[in-house]
Structure 1
Amino acid sequence: MSEKVSKSTLRKSWKTWFFWHGCSQQGENLLGNAMAHTMSPVIEELYTTKEDKVEAYKRSLTLFNTEQQLGAIAPGILIGVEESVANKEITPDVAESIKVALIGPTSAIGDSLWVATIIPLLLTITMTITNIGNVFLYLGPLLYAVGYPVLTSIMSWRLWNVGYSTGIGFMKKFMKSGKLELITKTMTILGLIVVGALIASFVSLSIPLVITPPGGETAAVNVDDMINAIFPNLLPLLLTIGVYRLYAKKKKSPLFIMGFILVIAILLTIIGNLSGIYTF
Structure 2
Amino acid sequence: MDAKTKKNRIGHKTLSKSFNLWFWGALTCFSQEHMQTFGYLCSMLPIIEKLYPDDVSDQQDKIHAYTAFFNTNPMLGSVIVGITASLEEARANDTGIDGETINDMRAGLMGPIAGIGDSLIDGTLIPILLGIALGMSQNGSPIGAIFYIVVWDLLAYFGQRFLYFRGYKLGDKAVGFLVGKQGKAVRRAIGVVGSMVVGGVLATWVNVTTSVKLRNANGHVFLNLQKQLDTIYPVLLTIIVTLLCWWLMAKKHVSAIWTMIILIGVALVGVVIGFFNPGLKY
Q: For this structure pair, what is the TM-score category when the shorter chain's length is used for normalisation? A: 0.7 to 0.9
Percent identity over paired residues:
25
Q: Which residue of 2 aligns with 1:278?
A: none
Cα-to-partner distance string for 1:70-126 (whole Å, 9 max, x where unaligned): 221100000011111111112222222222222122111111111111111111111
How do 1:257-272 residues align onto structure 2 when only pairs under 5 Å count?
A: 257-258=262-263, 260-269=265-274
How do 1:168-207 residues align onto structure 2 when only pairs under 5 Å count?
A: 168-176=172-180, 178-207=181-210
Cα-to-partner distance string for 1:24-74 (whole Å, 9 max, x where unaligned): 222223211111110111111100201110012211121112211122110
Q: Which residue of 1 aligns with 2:13?
A: 8
Q: Which residue of 2 aligns with 1:163?
A: 167
Per mean C-alpha deviation after superposition, the further-off stretch among 5-14 and 180-189 is: 180-189
Q: Which residue of 1 aligns with 2:62?
A: 56
Q: RMSD of the TM alignment (CA)?
A: 2.8
Per mean C-alpha deviation after superposition, the further-off stretch among 4-13 and 24-33 is: 24-33
Q: Which residue of 2 aligns with 1:37?
A: 42
Q: Which residue of 1 aligns with 2:26?
A: 21
Q: Which residue of 2 aligns with 1:94?
A: 101
Mark the CA change 1:245 to 1:267 in structure 2 (over 3 Å): closer, same or farther: farther
Q: Which residue of 1 aligns with 2:244?
A: 242
Cα-to-partner distance string for 1:122-177 (whole Å, 9 max, x where unaligned): 1111112212x26xx1110000010001011121111111100111112213433x
* Structure 1 SS opposite 2:82: helix
CA deviation after TM superposition for structure 1 residue 244, in Å: 3.4
Q: Which residue of 1 aligns with 2:79?
A: 73
Mark the CA change 1:251 to 1:9 in structure 2 (over 3 Å): closer, same or farther: closer
Q: Which residue of 2 aligns with 1:117?
A: 124
Q: Which residue of 2 aligns with 1:103?
A: 110
- Take 2:98 and 2:236, find their aligned partners in 1: how far apart are those partners? 59
* Structure 2 SS opposite 1:127: helix
Per mean C-alpha deviation after superposition, the further-off stretch among 249-258 and 48-57 is: 249-258
Give the alignment's TM-score, normalised by structure 2: 0.83
Mark the CA change 1:51 to 1:127 in structure 2 (over 3 Å): closer, same or farther: same
Partner letter of residue 118 of structure 1?
Answer: L
- Take 1:225 and 1:183, find their aligned partners in 2: how far apart are those partners? 43
* Structure 2 SS opposite 1:119: helix
Partner letter of residue 195 of structure 1?
Answer: V
CA deviation after TM superposition for structure 1 residue 192, in Å: 2.2
Segments of structure 1 that go 5 or more residues without pairing to the other structure are 214-219, 274-280
CA deviation after TM superposition for structure 1 residue 212, in Å: 8.8
Per mean C-alpha deviation after superposition, the further-off stretch among 187-196 and 101-110 is: 187-196
Partner letter of residue 119 of structure 2?
Answer: S
- Take 1:272 and 1:128, find their aligned partners in 2: how far apart are those partners? 24
Give the alignment's TM-score, normalised by structure 1: 0.84
Segments of structure 2 that go 5 or more residues without pairing to the other structure are 217-221, 278-282
Partner letter of residue 107 of structure 1?
Answer: A
